[in-house]
Each structure stands twice: as structure tokens, then as C-alpha cells.
């Protein structure tokens, strides 16, 4: 499907964040979620976590820039046929990237059905 307008897509991302259990959202530490059109290096990538997972943070972590979760609007819309598909894929991608913040690796995410 054609890419949804940025504002509409950002609302879907906000809705997906609302679906994440409050207990997990409370544990997110120093993270910002951003929407971009595509990843320049990997245009097919749906989302990306950049930062230091909670499991990798040591005593010297303080003062770091926020970790970033990127959600790629055009790449997600490329693989979806309907707006409902976009909603589902945004939710899956947001949860997937939040899981990386908690140190959950790709293999485990696939086992859990979030791959």
C-alpha cells in the first residue's frame, strides 16, 4: 500500500505504545521512539533499536544520550496491504524494538512470535 501520511502513521505508533503493558513502559529508561521514512543503509528494515540495552548498562552509564527506537514508515507500508495490516505491523515492530532495549535477542523474539 502507499505510505500513510506521517501524522497518521505517528498516531499508529502512539497507539502501539499504548498497547505495551504499563509495567514494561515504566521500565523503559532513557529511550525515545522516532518515526523515519526509511533506514538509509537497509531500506527494507522496519525498525531499529540504537543504544545500550538495560542488560549492557554498567555503573558508568549515567549522562548518556537517549537510546533510540526508529520505526520506518515507508518500509512498513511497503509490506502491508491494508491500514489494519499497518496497525498490526507497527505494533509488532514497536514491541520487537522495545524488547531489544530489555536485552532480548532476535532468536528469542522469533520464538515468542515477535519476529
pLDDT digits (tens, 9 = 90+) for 41-78: 999 999 998 876 666 656 665 666 778 899 999 999 99
CA distance 73 to 106: 21
Q: Exposed (0-12), middle (13-18) or buried (19+): which is 17, by Cβ within 10 Å?
A: middle
3-state secondary structure at position 60: coil
The residue with cell 549515567 is 62
Q: How confident is the model at residue 7 (pLDDT cuts 50, 70, 90)?
A: very high
Task: Give the CA angle between residues 14, 52, 31 to the nearest 5°.
Answer: 25
Confidence of residue 37 (pLDDT cuts 50, 70, 90): very high
Query: Which residue intervals of 4-111 are DSSP H helices?
Result: 6-19, 22-27, 73-78, 83-101, 106-111
Measuring CA to CA, which residue among 101, 107, 79 is closest to residue 32?
101
Looking at per-residue confidence, does 114 or 103 come out higher? 103
16 or 40: which leads in pLDDT: 40
How are the residues of the chain apportioned to helix, strand and coil, as percentages rounded to the nearest 5? Answer: 45, 15, 40
Amino acid at each position: 500500500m502507499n505510505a500513510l501520511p506521517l501524522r497518521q502513521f505517528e498516531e499508529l505508533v502512539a497507539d502501539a505504545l499504548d498497547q505495551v503493558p504499563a509495567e514494561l513502559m515504566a521500565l523503559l529508561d532513557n529511550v525515545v521512539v522516532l518515526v523515519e521514512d526509511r533506514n538509509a543503509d537497509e531500506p527494507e528494515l522496519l525498525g531499529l533499536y540504537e543504544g545500550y540495552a538495560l542488560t549492557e548498562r554498567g555503573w558508568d552509564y549515567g549522562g548518556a544520550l537517549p537510546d533510540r527506537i526508529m520505526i520506518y514508515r515507508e518500509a512498513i507500508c511497503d509490506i502491508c496491504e491494508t491500514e489494519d495490516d499497518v496497525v498490526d505491523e507497527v505494533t509488532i515492530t514497536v514491541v520487537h524494538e522495545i524488547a531489544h532495549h530489555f536485552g532480548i535477542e532476535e532468536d528469542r523474539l522469533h520464538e515468542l512470535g515477535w519476529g
